[in-house]
Amino acid sequence: MVHELTRLARAYVRRHHAQPDQVAPEAVLVQIFVNTADMIAAILRSYQSAVEIGEAFAAFWRYQLAGLQALLAAG
């Protein structure tokens, strides 16, 4: 999962930026997606009901997507 998310993010950056390494170094992207996988596991470990899981994912994705959007728009 981490490898595929990193690959997709790198492809996006290469398509949209002349100097992709200045936008998001490879190690930064990898760590972001490692943390994403860890958070998914933590949410599933921490909550039992579908409602709680849904609320936790909604909060996490708001945070995660805003951060990725800001990171990938830089440059």
Q: Write the CB contacts of 32 (distance below 8 Å, at least 6 apart in sequence).
A: 67, 68, 71
Say what the pTM is.
0.79
Q: How far apart are the first and last CA of the chain?
A: 26
- pLDDT of 7-56, one tens digit each? 999 898 888 887 877 888 889 999 999 999 999 999 999 999 999 999 99
pLDDT of 18 reads 79
Residue 72's pLDDT band, with cuts at 50, 70 and 90, is: confident
